[in-house]
Amino acid sequence: MVYKLIAVDIDGTLSNDDKVITRATREALINAQKQGIIVVIASGRQAPGLERESRILKLEQYGGLLLSYNGARIINASTREVIYENSIDKEY
C-alpha cells in the first residue's frame, strides 16, 4: 500500500498527556515527509495555535498542511496559502 497523506489530530493523539510530541513520533513523521508523504496536523484550535507543532514536525520544509478550526480552514505550511476556508457569515 502506498500512502500519500497522513493526517493526525494534535491534542491527545499526536502529543502525549504532557502536550509533547515524542522523539519517535517526530522522527517517524519527518521521515514520512522525506519520502514524499504529506503530513497534515488537524485541530479544533485556531490556525496560530498550530505553529509550534508545525515547526517541530518541519511542515514548512516539506509542504505539510495545517487543518484548523475543526476543518474550516486548511493552510499550506510552506506558502501560508489558504487552500480551503469555510466560515459562517458574521450576520449569523
Instruction: State how far the Cα of 88 lies from the Cα of 73, in Å rounded to an integer.
Output: 12
Give the residue numbers annotated as catalytic, written as ranges. Answer: 9
Confidence at residue 90, expressed as pLDDT on a 0 to 100 scale: 85
User: What burial class does residue 72 get, using C-beta atoms within 10 Å of its C-beta: 0-12 exposed, 13-18 middle, 19+ buried?
Assistant: middle
Instruction: State how far the Cα of 8 lies from the Cα of 63, in Å rounded to an integer.
Output: 15
Please answer whether residues 85 and 73 qualify as being in contact, where contact means their C-beta atoms are separated by less than 8 angstroms. Answer: yes
Would you state the torsion angle of the CA atoms of residues 74, 75, 81, 82, taken in this order, to the nearest 10 degrees?
30
H helices present in the chain, as ranges: 23-34, 51-56, 59-62
Confidence at residue 85, expressed as pLDDT on a 0 to 100 scale: 95
Whole-model pTM: value is 0.89
Residue ranges for the chain with pLDDT beneath 70: 1
SS3 of 33, please? helix
